[in-house]
Each structure stands twice: as structure tokens, then as C-alpha cells.
Amino acid sequence: MDGFFHRLDSDMCVVTAVADGERAGCLVGFASQCSIDPPRYAVWLSKANRTYRVARSARHLAVHLLTRNQRDLAELFGGETGDEVDKFAGLDWREGPGGAVVLADAAAWCVGTVLHRTDGGDHVCFVLDPVGWGTGRPGPLLRLSDAVGIDAGHPA
């Protein structure tokens, strides 16, 4: 399958979750709009990540698009683990719909109510019903090819 998968160059995003007094966030490469009417968005979280553990109890998730010049945020959310560091320390963020964490500097963001969770193997799909969104920083979006050198905080 490498001939297929290696040609994909999807947009990268940061997903944040809040539940039971805990915040978490991670860099995600598996995400897509999955319905037009009604609008739906799906994100896949690795079972190895702390974000997944928090998201299992979360009612809402926030999805943030980054620009190519925000590699520092991508490295923070993709290369560090929330098991060891507070990824939100020093970041500008606010509470969004449903208590979700919205990163102030994102290119665009969407908060969705979690409708479904589907096990897909080493990742779980969260299907979201958008309840809030906004735009921010202009510029081309960060893609998988821009994030290739980021060493994951947890193995896949």
C-alpha cells in the first residue's frame, strides 16, 4: 500500500479535548469532512495518545488548521506528549463551545459535538457535528509533507 499512502499529502490539524478537568491536544493527519448535508467532520485519534484518553469522555472536540509557518505548534502538539508536558502552557487559547479549548492563533477552527466513535484499529474515528467555528491566520495550510520530520511524542 506504500505506493498509495506515500502519495497522500493531507492537511494537518491540532485536535484538542477537554473532559473531567483535563485538557489534551495532538497533531492529527487523519481528518476529513465526511458529510455535506448535514455537515460533519471526522478526526482519527491514535489510541496511544493522551488526547485519545481524554477524548473518550469529551462531549466536544476542537479541530484547528495550522499554516505552514506554524511548524512550532505542530512540533509542540505532535512531538511532545501530554503525559509529560502541559502543551497549553504559554499558549493563547480560549474556551469555545461546549467548553472546548480553541487555539487563538489557528488559521481556522471548528468545534464539534461528538456524535460517533468508531474503532479503526490503532486509531478511533470521532465524527463531529459542528457547533462553532472561526478563521484567523491567513496563509497556506500545513500539510503532511511539511510535518514529516516531526518525531511523534508517542509511537503510532
**Helices vs strands, H then E, count in the chain:** 4, 9
State whether residue 52 is helix, strand or coil: helix
Q: Which residues contact 42 (CB under 8 A, 6 or more apart)?
A: 31, 32, 33, 34, 125, 126, 127, 128
Q: Is 20 in a helix, a strand, or coil?
A: coil
Q: Give DSSP secondary structure letters for 131-154.
A: EEEEE---SPBPBHHHHTTPPPSS
pLDDT tens digits, one per residue of 125-154: 999 999 999 998 899 998 887 777 676 665
C-alpha cell read off for 80? 511532545
The whole-model pTM stands at: 0.92
CB 62 within 8 A of CB 110: yes
Contact 51, 25 (CB under 8 A): yes
- In the chain, pLDDT over 90 holds for what percent of residues? 71
**Each residue of 88-124: pLDDT tens digit?**
998 999 999 999 999 999 999 999 999 999 999 999 9
- Could you give the dihedral angle defined by the CA atoms of residues 110, 56, 53 and 109, in that order, rounded to the nearest 10 degrees? 0
Q: How many other C-beta atoms lie within 10 A of the C-beta of residue 101?
A: 25
Check residue 33 and give its pLDDT.
Answer: 95
27-86 pLDDT per residue, tens: 998 999 999 999 999 999 999 999 999 999 999 999 999 999 999 998 999 888 888 889
Backbone angles phi, psi at 138, to 5 degrees: -80, 165
- pLDDT value, residue 56: 97
Residue pair 19/57 in contact by the 8 Å Cβ criterion: yes
